[in-house]
Amino acid sequence: MRIRFLLLNAYAVGGTVRTVVNQANGLAAVGHDVEIVSVRRHRKTPAFTLDPRIRLLPLVDTSEAAPAWRRSVEALMQRSPSRLVPLEEVRHDRFNRLTDRRLTRYLRSLDGGVLVTTRPALNLLAARLAPADVVRVGQEHLQYARHKPALARQIDHWYRNLDAVTVLTEGDERAYRAALAGSDVRVERIPNPLTEGSPMPSGLDRKLVVGAGRLVKAKGFDLLIKAFGRIVDDHPDWQLRIFGSGPELTRLRRLIHRRHLYNNVLLMGRTTRLDEELAKASVFALSSRHEGFGMVLAEAMSHGVPVVSFDCPQGPREIITDGEDGLLVPDGDVAALAGALERLIEDERLRKTIGAQAAESAQRYAMDSVRPQWERLFTEVLGTKHQASTARSGRSQTCVL
């Protein structure tokens, strides 16, 4: 089966990139013809390891100097904002007139196969520009309710041209089915897969709590730092390490210093080796104000690490069974988050019991569990499209006769 994934930047470090690379690797491993197309390229090699059978194609490459004549033309186009991507798209600033041109040319050139687009801007463009003989699957990694109203209106209109929309949570499955009611678009809930292979189990013997994600307000790392600050006096030998980069770095650093937590809370920066860092942890904490899904919870659980999370909208409650494979606390309740962390820090037996169950629960997200769901969707949608095409052809021949 010929499968193409279209990403904004396949060379970047981020949750969507990591999960799409996992999907692509998993499909290539069983013989599918897989290609990843990256709208942008800012470095020579991707941050995450790709199966060597996967083709990687950038549309706009800024990693190498172009000839002078082309640089001047392209520089002018890159300074002009996109006319195709809605202003309300979170990453609107990453698109421009040059990406508009390259994306239009690429999408219109496609011939058959499956195209998986991975964010609203790309889903909308595929719905508008990709030929009808291409199976167009739009992936959603954010909650429908988090989209700005103007973007949601475009989604409601243009996604009806897609063949399928995949979501990560039950709540979004309901939301998209309601938004696209009356259309032929399939809405399917398929979780993100874990990286293929056997995760290294944590010994749960280091005095270490880990958090990870982009340093933005939505991830709530300010709340996690405050929660950890409540217990550090009683557990001064424990450490919190937060992995990730983003615009909140300076504010979080100031919060750490203001609360004199610099010996216990470390901002580690981004890493492409998160699996190794999770395997060192004894507890993982997720403090998000909202989540598209919370895949990092499943990743931590796969290492046998007990997790603590706010019961924020949708994602975590679908991954964690409270008290069995992790601990859920009321959304935004810093005191409750501190209490749950302290329970696991102080009770080694509980830590190991929940960690063992977490590793078992995480098998739901193993590649061998998730890959067949994608293959089934692609096969069924391809079959439906073929039947529709055959029916149209038959009607056309009847009219000619």
Does 58 share its domain with 181? yes
- What mean pLDDT comes out for the span 18-36? 96
As a whole number of angstroms, the distance between CA 155 and CA 45 comes to 33
Could you tell me if residue 17 is inside a domain? yes
**CATH number where 26 lies:** 3.40.50.2000
Could you tell me if residue 400 is inside a domain? no
Nearest to 168 by CA among 376, 362, 319: 319
Pairwise pLDDT comparison (258 vs 69), residue with the higher score: 258
Confidence of residue 397 (pLDDT cuts 50, 70, 90): low
Tell me: the pLDDT tens digits for 335-379?
999 999 999 999 999 999 999 999 999 999 999 999 999 999 999
Contact 319, 294 (CB under 8 A): yes
Does 31 share its domain with 61? yes
| Averaged confidence pLDDT in the chain | 93
As a whole number of angstroms, the distance between CA 267 and CA 245 comes to 9
Structure tokens at 131: 């030929």
Does 66 share its domain with 150? yes
Q: Residue 374 phi/psi, 5° resolution?
A: -70, -45
Contact 200, 279 (CB under 8 A): yes
pLDDT at 85 over 80: yes
Does 13 share its domain with 149? yes
Q: Which residues sit opposite 139 in a β-bridge?
A: 166
Domain range for 23: 2-193+368-395
pLDDT at 401 over 50: no
How would you class 253 by CB atoms within 10 Å of its CB: exposed for 0-12, middle for 13-18, buried for 19 or more?
Answer: middle
Could you tell me if residue 203 is inside a domain? no
Does 244 share its domain with 168? no
Does 85 share its domain with 143? yes
Q: Residue 208 phi/psi, 5° resolution?
A: -140, 125
Q: What is the pLDDT of residue 83?
A: 96
Contact 329, 309 (CB under 8 A): yes
Does 338 share its domain with 358? yes
Contact 381, 135 (CB under 8 A): yes
Confidence of residue 314 (pLDDT cuts 50, 70, 90): confident
Does 40 share its domain with 108? yes
Could you tell me if residue 62 is inside a domain? yes
| Number of domains the chain contains | 2
Q: What is the pLDDT of residue 40?
A: 96
Could you tell me if residue 233 is inside a domain? yes
Could you tell me if residue 15 is inside a domain? yes
Could you tell me if residue 200 is inside a domain? no
pLDDT at 155 over 50: yes
pLDDT at 71 over 80: no
Does 355 share its domain with 386? no
- What mean pLDDT comes out for the span 76-96? 94
Pairwise pLDDT comparison (287 vs 399), residue with the higher score: 287
Global pTM?
Answer: 0.88
Does 244 share its domain with 376? no
Could you tell me if residue 286 is inside a domain? yes
Q: What is the pLDDT of residue 197?
A: 82
- Tokens 């990092």 label which residue? 296
Q: What is the pLDDT of residue 292?
A: 80
pLDDT at 224 over 60: yes
Does 291 share its domain with 246? yes
CB count within 10 Å of CB 205 equals: 11
Does 321 share its domain with 256? yes
